[in-house]
Amino acid sequence: MAFEIVMPKMGESIVEGTIIEWKKNIGDFVEKDEILLEISTDKVDSEIPSSHEGFLLEVYFQKNETVEVGKPIALIGGKNESVSSIRQEKVQKNNDLDSKNITLESKKNQDSSKSNEKEVKDDLIAKTEEGVRSHQTSKFYSPLVKSIARKEKIDLKELESLNGSGANGRINKVDILNYLDNKNKTKGTKINDSSYIDAENNSFSGDIEPIDHIRKSISDHMLKSIKTSAHVYSAVEVDVTSIVDYIDKNKDKFLENNGIKITYTPFFLEACIEAL
C-alpha cells in the first residue's frame, strides 16, 4: 500500500517550508522514522523522518522548492507498486468524492425553499445599496492593519479588494505587507537607463551565485522590520589615546615575546568586564 508524505507543520506560525535536500533517491528503501529529507523554514532547519516504511516511489517537489504545510511531497510504497496505477486510483477517488459532493449540494439546493431564497436575495440587495451609499465595509480590520493602510495611503476600496489569509478571509499584517511589496515591485519595474548595468558587458569579475533560502528569509524579515518598526541607534565617544599610545610603544616587544600581534580587542573586552 502506498502512502503520501506531507510537508510537516514545524510551528504555530509556520505555513510553508523549503526543501533543502532529499536524503533518499527514488527507488531507495526507507525505514519508518529514518531521515527522508531536510527542510528550512523562517525559524529553523529540520531533518524530517519518514512516517511510513517502504520504497521511495516518487518525489513531487525538488530541491529549493517551497511547499505549503500539509501538501504531499513524496510517495512511499511497495517495491512492485506502479506509480501510474497509484495516480489513477487517486484520481478516481477524487472524482468519486467530487461527484458525491455535487450530488449532496444539488439535493441541498433543491430542498431550500423559495422564501428563503427571496429573503437572502433581498438582504444582499439591501447590503449592496447600503455599501454604495456609505462606502462602508462589514469586514473587520485590526488597528495595526488600519494604521499601515493610513500610513501607506491605501483607501477603503483598495483595502476591500485584498484577499485575506486569516480566519474567514480576514486581512492580517502579512497580507497587507505582501500587497505593498508587490505594489512597490510593480512600480519599480522600469529601470533608469543611466543606472542600469549590463551583466554581460560590465567590468566586474567573478561568479553570480543564487541566494539561498536562509539569506532570502533574513532579507525578507529585515525589509519587513524596516517598514514596520522604528530604527534608531546611539553612539558614545570614548578617548582611547592612552591605549593607542600603549600599543604603538609595546607592539614590537609583544610580538617578539608572544608570537602574535597585540590588538585593541582585549582592552575593549576588559572594559566591558569591568563595567558589568
pLDDT digits over 126-183, tens only?
554 454 444 455 567 777 788 888 888 888 778 788 877 777 777 888 888 888 888 8
For 9-49, the DSSP string reads --STT--EEEEEEESS-TT-EE-TTSEEEEEE-SS-EEEEE
Strands 35-40 and 29-30: unpaired
Instruction: For the chain, give the mean pLDDT.
Output: 77
CA angle 152, 153, 159 (to 5 degrees): 95
The proportion of the chain whose per-residue pLDDT surpasses 90, expressed as a percent, equals 18
* Nearest of 48, 40, 32 to residue 16 by alpha carbon: 40
At 238, the pLDDT band (50, 70, 90 cuts) reads confident
Strands 35-40 and 45-49: antiparallel
- Asked whether the CA dihedral 215, 220, 221, 222 is positive or negative, the reply is positive
Q: Is 58 helix (H, G, I), strand (E, B) or coil?
A: strand
* Nearest of 78, 2, 77, 65 to residue 37 by alpha carbon: 65
Mean pLDDT of 91-97: 64
Quick check: pTM over 0.75?
A: no
Residue recorded with cell 455599501: 131
Distances (CA, A) of 199 to 73, 186, 203, 258: 36, 22, 9, 49
Q: Inform me whether the pLDDT recorded for 269 exceeds 80.
A: yes
Distances (CA, A) of 33 to 29, 74, 111: 12, 15, 50
Sheet arrangement for strand 3-6: 3-6, 72-77, 54-59, 29-30
Residue range(s) occupied by CATH 2.40.50.100 in the chain: 3-80
The fold of the 3-80 domain, in CATH, is OB fold (Dihydrolipoamide Acetyltransferase, E2P) (2.40.50)
At 36, the pLDDT band (50, 70, 90 cuts) reads very high
pLDDT digits over 204-221, tens only?
566 777 777 777 778 888
